[in-house]
Chains A and B, each alone.
Chain A
Amino acid sequence: MSESFDVLLVGIGGQGIILASNILGEACIAEGRSVKGAETHGMAQRGGSVEGHIRIDGKFGPLVPPGSARLIIAFDMLEALRYAHFLAPGGTIVSNNRFVVPTSVYMQGAPVPDEAAIRERLSSRPLCVVDAEGIAGEAGNPLSQNVAMIGAASRFLPLKPASLLGAVEKLVPKKTVETNRRAFEMGRAAGERCGGGKAGA
């Protein structure tokens, strides 16, 4: 186990993972903590599977070693399963309840993954599933799903909610601060209800 609290964010290019990982990074700076991270840029972002690594209190390399993530935040449930081997023993997965079927599955006529089966295969680990789309819609901005996910995951992060919220306010466009603040708070409330084992570091 690393001395850093390692978090892996996973999803699909275009879902706002870079902004979400920036929220964690900025919150670390606000708390005066060291932090290292790495993310996917370039062509892989065109609807491909993407990952964001964040090592809270990290001092060296930016990559979370497989088997070492204390928390996985998945914006897509299929991606949660794809990256589940990054989870450390006792770590938690916070996942969106939806997933996008890769276009190639339809093109090749391959079997379409089934939500119940994905959940079943994830269930051997502490799992917290939230409806990010529902929360974001209720908060008033469908684009705030990434902030809703960070809100839901905040209970499992060794960062103060105020630091995270401060980072959200700093990073989102000014006119969306209110809806994103709501998405964070509603996400946090959903996280409190969703299971996933013990909170905090």
Chain B
Amino acid sequence: MKTQYLLGNEAIAYGCLEAPVDFVTGYPGTPSSEVVEVLRDVPDRDYYLEWSVNEKVALENALAAAWCGLRAICTMKHVGLNVAADALMTSAYTGVTGGLVVMSADDPFAHSSQNEQDSRCYALFSRLPCLDPSTIQEAHDMARDAFALSEQFSLPVILRPTTRVCHSKGDTVTGERARSTRKGEFHRDPRQYVVIPAHTRALHPKLNEKQPAIRKALVERGYNTAVIRGPLAVVASGIAAAYVQEVLPADVSFIKIGAYPVDEEWLAAQVSRHEKVLVIEELHPVVEETVRQVAKGVPVSGKKDGVVPYEGELSTAAVAAIMKSFGITPTQAYPAVAPVADLPQRPPILCAGCMHRPVFYAMRRVFRDGIYPSDIGCYTLGLQLGAVDTTICMGAAVTIGSGISHAGEERDVVATIGDSTFFHSGIPGLLNAVYNGARMVLVILDNRITAMTGHQPNPGTGVTVCGAAAPQVSIETICRACGVSWVETVDPYDLASLMATLRAAKEQPGVKVVIARQPCVITARRANLRRGRFEVDPGVCTACGVCIGFGCPAIEKRDEKAFITGLCSGCGVCAQICPAGAIRKETRTEGSR
């Protein structure tokens, strides 16, 4: 036993080591990514570990390992579970032999996500058990124990931390790492693993028959608890339970839901002992709907009567305000304060020297009235440069692009997608676009890494998560195999070539692919690639503002003229766009700033 200051995701990884886990898969996605990375960094690994190309692939690999008797975890962000849902839903029918944990990290407030969906709904939908930690310690303990729970019921278990668990830190007690001793072995059993209708009709009732015992076990294991103290009760789940505990008066009952499905008999008995009940949870009213079903006349407040918001994230201060409006006086009062109003915003921005920026710049010039579907990655920040018109989900740049072209839109469609997103789910869309005769340009922004989530390697990088050499797949060859006859690769730092390539693409019929390739500036810097900085000659600069409009964070205005700061990474694109020829490679030895 050891107390450490751990990130929630680190704590989950430590829980896996204590289980112990035998097989780890995942696709990077904020706020889930660190679990796999922490497990990668463990010395003397005795488990299998991979970054998979998407969440469906990750879950199916982990499911196979669990069928072979191994303990497996598969990590993803909440929207990844949509991609993996096909496998998830039927894995509840087939069940598992070894413990399988599906970690789906939710993101209330959409800090880094396209929506605020609630993974607990997938648990209800699939009838799989789901653990919902309220603290980092619980996240650790639940991860450690989830494998045994999965084996007890022969079902995958969903672990659903939220951003404020995954990316929070705290003093956490961890135990000893256990050693993996299992060797996977597949036992043929078609009635379990071949879900033809005749088999699946027999498997479905088995899944349903397991439910009452699961509900009881989750109370017996202490995940769902009640402390009865007075006529009013607060029911809370997930991190909201931690917020509630901070400000809950001593005479108010506290019913904590840490796992699903909730035992309705047990819950009804707790609720019935109160005059009224307040349910506080983030996102979907999963707990509230159950409480309302069993309340039998006890008034219930929550989202459905407008006391708790449906969207966004909660906080201690928000929970205190909710309690107050319900008629409970919180133990702490928080002042009503407002931020100063008139400050310039500081949104995230593409790095100085990022290869995406010149691509967006060139697209805007070559395709002046183009339509720009885009995708999920750092390059979504191209929105600020006016070069991102749509983003919905992984891979959809290609399919939204082909759909717009088929819809009768006559303007050029120029879609952008990153390398990892292309591997994830862009390829079927490209195949479809070619097959069905779309007219579009697809620009693949190939920086050879999954940058936004923290630089995880992918099939284009040439290494696996564990650092082993892997074949660098050729995006050019994939595109040609999909039937694209016009594929060109270009260096985005060479603006003249980039523009010429885009102009050539514009003239071609059908689906055209331009691959813009430069390593991510962050990985390049880590690899010690130094290009030398650029500087502005103030005597030549005409203060025209062209380079300022380029939007590079290394370019500032000083005394009305452009000035390049120490953030410059030497891509040199600004020197190519300056109409006065005022930007050149730095001649001074000292960095400016």
Contact = CB atoms under 8 A, between A and B. Distances in A.
Contact of B4 (A29, A39, A66): A29
Given A22-B5, A61-B242, A43 B378 contact: yes
Interface in B327-352: 332, 334-340, 343-351
Given A41-B30, A65-B316, A112-B557, A35 B334 contact: no
B167 interface: yes
29 contacts: A1-B332, A13-B348, A22-B169, A29-B4, A35-B170, A36-B168, A41-B30, A41-B34, A42-B453, A43-B452, A46-B452, A48-B348, A48-B349, A49-B346, A59-B246, A61-B316, A63-B164, A66-B317, A67-B335, A67-B337, A81-B343, A83-B339, A85-B337, A85-B339, A104-B344, A106-B556, A107-B548, A113-B343, A113-B344
Contacts of B167: 38-41
A72 to B, nearest CB: 13
Contacts of B472: none
B430 to A, nearest CB: 25
A60 B242 contact: yes
Contacts of B34: 41
A62 B7 CA distance: 11
Contacts of A162: none
B494 interface: no
A71 interface: no
Contact of B349 (A35, A40, A47, A68): A47
A48 B549 contact: no
Residue from A28, A103, A121 having most chain B Cβ neighbours under 10 A: A103
Nearest to B318: A65
Contacts of B346: 12, 47-49, 78-79, 82, 102, 104
Given A42-B453, A61-B315, 7 more contacts: A34-B171, A47-B346, A83-B339, A85-B337, A85-B338, A107-B549, A113-B343
A196 interface: no
Interface of B: 3-5, 30-31, 34, 111-112, 164, 167-171, 239, 242-243, 245-246, 315-317, 332, 334-340, 343-351, 378, 380-381, 384, 452-454, 545, 548-549, 551-553, 555-557
A48 B552 CA distance: 14
Given A65-B317, A85-B340, A35 B246 contact: no
B344 A102 contact: yes
Interface of A: 1-2, 12-13, 21-22, 25-26, 28-29, 33-49, 58-63, 65-68, 78-79, 81-86, 101-107, 109-110, 112-113, 121
B453 A37 contact: no
**Among A26, A38, A105, A110: residue with most chain B CB under 10 A:** A38
Given A38-B168, A62-B169, A112-B557, A82 B343 contact: yes
Contacts of A84: 339-340
Contacts of A37: 168-170
A146 to B, nearest CB: 16
Contact of B170 (A62, A66, A83, A104): A62
Contact of B31 (A34, A42, A63, A107): A42
A141 B585 CA distance: 25
Contacts of A25: 5, 169-170
B452 to A, nearest CB: 5
Nearest to A41: B167
B553 A61 contact: no
Contacts, number: 165
A60 B316 contact: yes
Contacts of B350: 46
Nearest to A36: B170
Contacts of A28: 5, 171
Contact of A82 (B332, B339, B351): B339
A1 B380 CA distance: 40
B240 to A, nearest CB: 9
Contacts of A106: 548, 555-557
A29 B172 CA distance: 10
B164 A105 contact: no
Given A26-B5, A29-B4, A61-B242, A42 B111 contact: yes
Contacts of A102: 344-347
B345 A68 contact: no
Nearest to A44: B348
A43 B164 contact: no
A41 B169 contact: no
Contacts of A85: 337-340
A161 B345 CA distance: 35
Given A12-B346, A37-B168, A38-B169, A47 B316 contact: no
A67 B348 CA distance: 25
A115 B236 CA distance: 46
B351 A47 contact: yes
Nearest to A24: B5
B3 A29 contact: yes
A39 B337 CA distance: 21
A81 B549 CA distance: 27
Contacts of B171: 28-29, 33-35
Contact of B334 (A26, A38, A41, A68): A68
A46 B315 contact: no
A39 B5 CA distance: 13
Nearest to B565: A100
A29 B246 contact: no
